[in-house]
Amino acid sequence: MRDCYSKPNIIPVFRGATKSLLGQTISAGDFHGKDGLGDAPHPDAPGLDLVQKEGAVSAMIRIVNENPGEVSLVATAPLTNVALAVKLDPTFPQKLKGLYLMGGNTDSRGNITVCGEYNFAADPEAAYIVLNEFICPVYIASWEFTCRSELPWAFCDGWLAQDTDKARFMKQIFKQIMESSSSNKTQGFISCDSYAMAAAIDETYIIETDHKAVTVELAGNFCRGMMVVDHLEILKKTHKAHILKKVDLEKFKTLMMNALK
């Protein structure tokens, strides 16, 4: 663990927005622990002093402007910062190589509200802006898709048993999540964000997608934050998203194994 934190090549972290666009909040509970890392503290863990002075939105705009057409953006949280980026720089989306999202739902199956997936429900306005204003290729790993693509528990045991600092760190921070998932008697581990990241790394792992126009419901007692898939093309939108439907799970397993080597 000590070696994991003492390496000099630290990935820069930029501070993003602290609230949704409208300032409303919705709690995800303690699924990832109170600290977001499974409550697995370490005395040598990097502190807030390593957070960059530049803000996350400014950094995204700068990096994309410096590398037009070369940057793939992977968003695995509420889309507040991504929405702010397009509002500050309307040309931001067209300069991206692609946008890969984990969020939204296709079958009205919520995981934080009756019909809302957390990342979209936490900031529906931001999700609406992103899905309606980003004209670059957009790939979506929805909540239902990730639930249908779980990793067998036997694979997870081998994945976390690798003799590396990364695997030991991952095992420690995932301990709480694994126990919670297994207690719910699921058939395997749902590694939600990893599906979007894998698509950005190797698009050949994507076997099938639904190419549909999408938007987000902003009103309603139960449906606020729900992703709307336009199967009938009533919205008349020219830009459509690629909603992941089927992927090569063997390639996905290989990517996951390599990530902890």
Q: pLDDT tens across 31-44, in order? A: 777 777 788 777 77
pLDDT of residue 251: 97
Residue 2, pLDDT > 60, answer no
pLDDT of residue 188: 87
Residue 236, pLDDT > 90, answer yes
Band of residue 136 on the pLDDT scale cut at 50, 70, 90: very high
Band of residue 73 on the pLDDT scale cut at 50, 70, 90: very high
The pLDDT mean for the chain works out to: 91
Find the CATH number of the domain harbouring 12: 3.90.245.10
Range of the domain at 219: 2-259
Three-state DSSP class for residue 31: coil
- Nearest to 190, CA basis, from 252, 128, 114: 252
E strands of the chain, at which residues? 14-15, 52-55, 72-75, 98-102, 138-141, 151-152, 188-189, 206-216, 227-230, 241-247
Band of residue 11 on the pLDDT scale cut at 50, 70, 90: confident
Q: How far apart are the first and last CA of the chain?
A: 14
Q: How many domains does the chain have?
A: 1
Residue 36, phi-psi category: left (phi > 0), alpha (psi -120 to 50), beta (remainder): left
User: Which residue, chain included where needed, has tokens 């790939």?
Assistant: 139
For residue 155, give the DSSP letter: H
Task: Tell me the average pLDDT across 85-101.
Answer: 98
Band of residue 182 on the pLDDT scale cut at 50, 70, 90: low
Residue 257, pLDDT > 60, answer yes
Three-state DSSP class for residue 98: strand
How confident is the model over 144-168, as pLDDT tens digits? 999 999 999 999 999 999 999 999 9
pLDDT of residue 177: 78
Residue 13, pLDDT > 70, answer yes
